[in-house]
Chains A and B, each alone.
Chain A
C-alpha cells in the first residue's frame, strides 16, 4: 500500500517536474497559436518566423554571455558596454582605418576577452563585489567607446560581415540565427557534459564548499568572466553585422532584455538553473509576443505590459510549481 502511494507520489512529481520544465515552451506554443489564429495570413508565414528568428541573435548571445558568470554566482553588468565597445572598435578599424574586417573582428573579440580579465582581476584579487566592479568597468568602457568613436555613429562596415549575418540565409533564415543557436548548443554541452562546466555550477552553488572540495574557485570564476567578455564582444560583432554600423550608446539597451531572458530561461528546461536552451526560448517567446502584438496593431505600451507581465508571471508560476514539488517530495 505504502509502495503504491510512494509510486503515485513519484509519478506526480515526475509530472510536475515535466510540466515545470516545459511550461514556458507550452506558453510559447500557445502564444504562437493565439496570434496565428488572429492573423493567420501575416503571422503564420515562414517569412514572419524567419524575420523573428533572424533578428534576435544579438540579445541571444548577450544573454548567453550573462548566464556563464551568473552560474558561477557573479554578475557581469559590463556586458552591454563590452558589446558597444567591440562594435565601435570593429567599425573604427574597418571603416576609419581600412583594415580587413577579419582583423577587426579578431581585435574586437580580443578586447572583449581582455575586459573579462580586467573584471576578474578586480573581483578576485581585491575581493570586491562583481556587481560594483562590472558596473564601474562598464561605465569606464562607455567612456572609452565615446572617445574611440568620436561620439559618432560609424557606417560603411564591410558588406561581407552584413552578408554573413543578415543577408545570407539558410532555409530562409538569416545566418545570424544559426551562429546564436550554435553558441547555445556549445554552451549547453559545456555546462552539462564537461567537468569544467560542472565546476562552474558547483562554484555558483557554494564557493566555500567548492573550495574545500579542491575546486580552484578563482580560476573557475576568471574563466566565467573571460567567457562573458568574449560573448559580449561576439554580440557586438553580430550587432555590427545586423545594422552595418556602430554607435556609441544604443547597444546599452540590450542589458535588461538580456537579463530578463536569462532569468526567465532559468524557469524552464532545467528549472532553477541558468541554462542556454531556456534562455534562447525566453528570447524568442518574448519577441514573438511583441511581434504578434505589433502585427495586431496594438500600441507599444501593451508590448511593455506583455514583456514585464510575462516575466513576472512566469517566474511566479515557476515558484508555485516548485512549492508543490517540495510538498510532494
Chain B
C-alpha cells in the first residue's frame, strides 16, 4: 500500500514538473496569439466603397517619383502600379532617378509644367526635403501623396495632401512577438534599424511596445545609416554579439540588412544559437529563410501595395473619401511556408491572388 502511494506520488510529481516545463510563459502565449492571424493566406478587404475607376480617371495622370530607381522593391511596386494604370486606362509616368533630391525636384517641375493631377512620392522620396516644391505643386492644383513612407500612427509629413500608410508598427510588433514566442519570453535581441528612413520610427515603436510587455526580455538597438549599411552593419552586429554572448535574436528591421547580419552571425560562430528575424519579404531574404540562415521574414506583397497605392490615389483624384487604412496585409514566411514563394523565390508569390479580383470588382472593371 505504502509503495503504491509512493509510486503514485512520484508519478504525480513528475506530471506536475513535466507540465511546468511544457507550459508556455504568459508572455510567449500572448506573443504566439498575436502572430497567429498573420500565418494564414491573406483575404481581400476593401479599403473603401466601390467606384467606377475607368470613368473618373479618364484623362487624368499621375507622376510617380521613387526614392531611387535602383532600389529593387520600389521598382517592383512601380511596375505593378504601371500595369494597374494600364488596366484602368489612365496615364502613369515613372520619374526614373538615382536617388538624388535634385532629381526629385526636377520631377516636381515636370509634373507642374505638364499638368499632371497627382504626384506620388514613392517609398522614401521624402517630402520633408521638398517643402517648397510641395507648396508649389499644391498651389498649381496638383495633389501630392507620400506612399509607403509612414506608419498608421505617424502624422502626415511636410503638408502633403495625403499618405498611403503601411502598418509598420504592427510589423515591428510581430518581429518582437516572434522572438518572445520562440524564446518563451526570454528574448535578448539586437535590433538593427536605419534612422534615416521615416518608417523606422514606427517599426521601433511596435518593437519597443512588445518587448516592454515581456519582463524577461532585453533589447539593444544599433542604428546604421543608409550610405554606410554595407560597411557598418556586419562590424556592428559582430561587436554586439561579442559584447553580449547571451543574445539569442538579431532583428534587422528591413530584410536588405540581413545580407550583412547573416555573415556576422556566421563569423562569430553563433549560427546555432542566434536566430535572425526580419521584415519586407524581399525574394532574396525569403531565399535565406529557405536556406535556414534567416528564421522568419514578415512579408508584404509588393503587387498588392501597388494596387493599394493606386486605389488610394485614384480616390483622391476622384474626390472620394480618403483611405485611412489601405488594408495591405502582412504574411509570415518561415521554414513551414517559405517554399510557397517559389524556388528560387519570386516577387509577389505566396500571398494568393484574392486581391486582383477584389480590386477589379472594387473599381467596377468587372
Tell me the bound Cα distance from A251 to B224 in angstroms: 16
Q: Which residues of B contact A59 (CB under 8 A)?
A: 231
Decide if B239 touches A294 in the complex (CB within 8 Å).
yes
Contact of B266 among A52, A167, A290, A300 (CB under 8 A): A167
Tell me the bound Cα distance from A299 to B232 in angstroms: 12
Q: Which residues of A contact B197 (CB under 8 A)?
A: none
Interface 9-mer from B36-44, B56-64, B100-108, B286-294: B286-294
**Nearest-neighbor residue (CB-CB) of A173 within chain B:** B267
Decide if A247 touches B256 in the complex (CB within 8 Å).
yes
Kindly state whether residue A314 has any CB partner on chain B within 8 Å.
no
Describe A's contact surface by its main secondary structure: helix
**What string of 1s and 0s marks CB contacts (under 8 Å) between A220-260 and chain B?**
00000000000000000000001111011111111001000
Contact of A243 among B231, B262, B268 (CB under 8 A): B262
Contact of B239 among A50, A166, A291 (CB under 8 A): A291
Interface 9-mer from A41-49, A182-190, A208-216, A320-328: A41-49
Tell me the bound Cα distance from A253 to B235 in angstroms: 14
**Nearest-neighbor residue (CB-CB) of A242 within chain B:** B263
Decide if B267 touches A166 in the complex (CB within 8 Å).
yes
Interface 9-mer from B23-31, B172-180, B277-285, B357-365: B277-285
Decide if B236 touches A244 in the complex (CB within 8 Å).
no
Decide if B230 touches A155 in the complex (CB within 8 Å).
no
Tell me the bound Cα distance from A153 to B256 in angstroms: 8
Kindly state whether residue B222 has any CB partner on chain A within 8 Å.
yes
**What string of 1s and 0s marks CB contacts (under 8 Å) between B232-261 and chain A?**
101110111011110000000000100110
Describe B's contact surface by its main secondary structure: helix
**Nearest-neighbor residue (CB-CB) of B286 within chain A:** A155
Kindly state whether residue B75 has any CB partner on chain A within 8 Å.
yes
A-B CB proximity, top 7 nearest: A294-B239, A250-B230, A155-B284, A153-B284, A155-B287, A295-B243, A243-B259
Q: Which residues of A contact B288 (CB under 8 A)?
A: 155, 244-245
Decide if A42 touches B293 in the complex (CB within 8 Å).
no
| A-B pair number, CB within 8 angstroms | 127
Tell me the bound Cα distance from A245 to B234 in angstroms: 14
**What string of 1s and 0s marks CB contacts (under 8 Å) between B62-96 and chain A?**
00000001111001000000000000000000000
Which residues of A are interface residues toward B (Cβ below 8 A)?
39, 42-43, 45, 47-48, 50-52, 54-55, 59, 95, 146, 151-156, 166-167, 174, 242-245, 247-254, 257, 287, 290-292, 294-295, 297, 299-300, 303
Could you list some 16 contacts between A and B, CB below 8 A?
A42-B245, A45-B242, A47-B242, A55-B235, A151-B70, A155-B344, A156-B284, A243-B260, A243-B262, A243-B263, A244-B288, A253-B228, A253-B230, A257-B231, A294-B239, A294-B240
Kindly state whether residue B337 has any CB partner on chain A within 8 Å.
no
Tell me the bound Cα distance from A153 to B243 in angstroms: 30
Decide if A290 touches B235 in the complex (CB within 8 Å).
yes
Give the distance to chain B from A258, nearest Cβ to Cβ, in Å: 10
Kindly state whether residue B264 has any CB partner on chain A within 8 Å.
yes
Tell me the bound Cα distance from A95 to B287 in angstroms: 11
Kindly state whether residue B132 has any CB partner on chain A within 8 Å.
no
Give the distance to chain B from A203, nearest Cβ to Cβ, in Å: 32
Give the distance to chain A from B94, nearest Cβ to Cβ, in Å: 13
Kindly state whether residue B340 has any CB partner on chain A within 8 Å.
no
Q: Which residues of B contact A299 (CB under 8 A)?
A: 223
Tell me the bound Cα distance from A98 to B81 in angstroms: 32
Given A152-B284, A294-B243, A300-B236, are A244 and B262 also a contact pair (CB < 8 Å)? Answer: yes
Kindly state whether residue B220 has any CB partner on chain A within 8 Å.
yes
Kindly state whether residue B155 has any CB partner on chain A within 8 Å.
no
Tell me the bound Cα distance from A247 to B263 in angstroms: 15
Contact of B284 among A39, A154, A167, A253 (CB under 8 A): A154
Q: Which residues of B contact A174 (CB under 8 A)?
A: 267
Tell me the bound Cα distance from A249 to B99 in angstroms: 12
Q: Which residues of A contact B212 (CB under 8 A)?
A: none
Q: Which residues of A contact B256 (CB under 8 A)?
A: 153, 247
Give the distance to chain A from B268, nearest Cβ to Cβ, in Å: 5
Decide if A244 touches B75 in the complex (CB within 8 Å).
no
Q: Which residues of A contact B228 (CB under 8 A)?
A: 253
Decide if B239 touches A295 in the complex (CB within 8 Å).
yes
Q: Which residues of A contact B319 (CB under 8 A)?
A: none
9 A-B pairs besides A156-B344, A174-B267 with CB distance below 8 A are A51-B267, A55-B264, A151-B75, A154-B284, A155-B288, A243-B259, A245-B288, A247-B284, A257-B231
Q: Which residues of A contact B231 (CB under 8 A)?
A: 59, 253-254, 257
Decide if A47 touches B239 in the complex (CB within 8 Å).
no
Decide if B238 touches A291 in the complex (CB within 8 Å).
yes
**What string of 1s and 0s marks CB contacts (under 8 Å) between B125-169 and chain A?**
000000000000000000000000000000000000000000000
Given A51-B238, A253-B230, A300-B224, are A146 and B70 also a contact pair (CB < 8 Å)? Answer: yes
Tell me the bound Cα distance from A292 to B260 in angstroms: 19
Tell me the bound Cα distance from A300 to B235 in angstroms: 11
Tell me the bound Cα distance from A230 to B230 in angstroms: 21
* B286-333 contacts to A (CB < 8 Å): 287-288, 291, 293
